[in-house]
């Protein structure tokens, strides 16, 4: 695997890990035997065994059609219905993917809607695409989640006004429940092509299903390699022995630190393209663990940028935090710093060095400083940022989250608290019972 986990700066001793061995075995058995709460939503655990290859082939054909005929793909969804896809697309593509000239980009621009309730955002989006060729992928299990449902109502009208009902139905794709729900019913009535959100996989664990795979494939990322990395991770991380399973070591480290009063985990990265990986990770862990008045609060920072804002707090603030550093060992692009005769910026001592080398030393210096500041640090290192390792990382985080949740004594697959704001909002809006 291209993933390594390092806990040498965690302040955790070996005997503390040994105390966790039995808890890990129990959590492993609960997860794999599907005997614990939420087991009906663990289809992601062994996805390779029941992966629908026929649907996947159809998905790749649809992605090719979109690439050949669209200027824009609009992905409508919220939470797990868009974060995973956006994380992968932004991590693996050009940093300025949507700004590349059309004749130099092998896929349509991809924009996201239905993840907020901003009329300004939607109005601005329609201004951008009004004279362009557009496909829409609406993603919702039920079809009634407020944010994407409102957005899709507008986009359905936009597409029908632009292409007519017959033309619109060929350009609207619904990723939804296999047989029920209002979006599935609407798709049947209007003749939209549909892809299935499996019944046994919840939204925040769904990036390796059509929920994430279709938008990712449209952006011309190799989804075969993503799945290969995930499926091999699935095999490797089945070992119930804590010291032989780095995924479980990460889960155990989190719980040991939490029991020591470290109730905030900060995911740090040193590459701007990973910022939405952090957003996906925050939803995965926040929605999975934050219940029953328990849970580690997931936060994130983008270094070195945030060293000039949040760095002070992390270095000298309240000691209820630990950091998990997501580090990429090798990048596919880099620049070398040149030599200036006048050296007014005092950078000649770096001439001949790459920017990545400077970034690496920034990480090492920050790690040393924060550890001296009594902040436990964990490190997850990827050999390189590519499709295979991204698939592996997605599975690594998903399984560690499930194990961590069971160790805490919570169901990591439901989200009862999310319903409270909806109930209050619907009451204030006067929604009929």
- List the catalytic residues: 287, 422
Record the tokens describing residue 249, joined without a space: 């070591």
- Specify whether the CB–CB gap between 212 and 48 falls below 8 A: no
Record the tokens describing residue 385, joined without a space: 């940022």
- Specify whether the CB–CB gap between 378 and 5 falls below 8 A: yes
Measure the CA–CA gap between 335 and 245, rounded to whole angstroms. 36
Measure the CA–CA gap between 203 and 198, rounded to whole angstroms. 10
E-assigned strand segments in 122-274? 134-139, 172-176, 193-196, 264-269
Measure the CA–CA gap between 343 and 348, rounded to whole angstroms. 6
**Residue with token string 């991204």:** 390
Q: Are strands 377-384 and 3-9 parallel, antiparallel or unpaired?
A: antiparallel
DSSP secondary structure, 317-374, as one string: S-S-EEEEEEEEEE-S---B----SS-TTS-GGGTT-BHHHHHHHHHHHHHHHHHHTT
**Residue with token string 């155990």:** 252
The C-alpha angle 212, 115, 71, rounded to 5 degrees, equals 65
CA 354 to chain centre: 29
Task: Identify whether 259 is preceded by a cis peptide bond (ω within 30 of 0).
Answer: no
Residues 6 or more apart whose CB falls under 8 angstroms from that of 188 comprise none
- Specify whether the CB–CB gap between 228 and 391 falls below 8 A: yes
Angle between helices 387-408 and 275-289 (to 10 degrees): 20
Phi and psi dihedrals of 103, rounded to 5? -75, -5
- Specify whether the CB–CB gap between 377 and 322 falls below 8 A: yes
Measured CA distances, 210 to 80, 213, 217, 242 (Å): 12, 5, 10, 32
- Specify whether the CB–CB gap between 253 and 12 falls below 8 A: yes
């Amino acid at each position: 695997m291209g993933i390594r986990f390092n806990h040498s700066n965690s302040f955790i001793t070996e005997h503390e890990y040994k105390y966790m061995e039995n808890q890990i075995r129990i959590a492993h058995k609960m997860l794999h035997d599907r005997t614990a709460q939420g087991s009906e939503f663990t289809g992601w655990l062994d996805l390779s065994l029941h992966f629908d290859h026929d649907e996947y082939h159809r998905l790749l054909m649809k992605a090719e059609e979109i690439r050949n005929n669209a200027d824009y793909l609009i992905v409508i969804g919220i939470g797990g219905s868009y974060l995973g896809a956006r994380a992968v697309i932004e991590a693996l593509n050009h940093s300025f993917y949507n700004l590349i000239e059309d004749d130099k980009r092998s896929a349509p621009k991809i924009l996201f809607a239905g993840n907020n309730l901003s009329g300004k955002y939607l109005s601005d989006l329609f201004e951008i695409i009004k004279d362009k060729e557009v496909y829409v992928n609406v993603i919702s299990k039920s079809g009634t989640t407020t944010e994407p449902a409102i957005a899709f109502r507008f986009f359905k009208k936009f597409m029908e006004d632009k292409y007519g009902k017959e033309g619109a139905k060929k350009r609207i794709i619904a990723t939804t429940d296999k047989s029920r729900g209002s979006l599935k019913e609407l798709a049947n009535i209007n003749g939209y092509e549909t892809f299935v959100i499996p019944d046994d996989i919840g939204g925040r664990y769904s990036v390796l299903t059509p929920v994430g795979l279709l938008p990712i494939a449209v952006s011309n990322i190799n989804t075969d390699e993503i799945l290969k990395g995930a499926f091999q991770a699935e095999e490797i991380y089945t070992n119930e022995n804590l010291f032989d399973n780095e995924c479980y070591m990460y889960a155990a480290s989190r719980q040991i630190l939490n029991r020591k009063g470290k109730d905030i985990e900060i995911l740090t990265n040193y590459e701007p393209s990973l910022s939405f990986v952090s957003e996906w990770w925050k939803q995965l862990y926040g929605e999975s663990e934050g219940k029953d008045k328990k849970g580690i609060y997931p936060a994130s920072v983008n270094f070195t940028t945030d060293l000039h804002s949040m760095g002070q707090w992390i270095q000298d603030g309240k000691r209820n935090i630990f950091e998990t550093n997501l580090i990429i060992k090798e990048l596919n692009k880099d620049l070398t710093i040149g030599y200036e005769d006048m050296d007014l910026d005092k950078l000649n001592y770096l001439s001949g060095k790459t920017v990545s080398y400077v970034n690496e030393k920034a990480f090492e210096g920050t790690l040393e400083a924060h550890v001296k500041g009594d902040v436990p640090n964990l490190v997850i290192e990827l050999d390189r940022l590519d499709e295979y390792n991204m698939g592996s990382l997605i599975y690594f985080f998903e399984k560690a989250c499930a194990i961590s949740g069971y160790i805490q004594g919570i169901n990591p697959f439901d989200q009862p608290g999310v319903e409270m704001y909806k109930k209050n909002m619907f009451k204030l809006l006067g929604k009929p019972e």
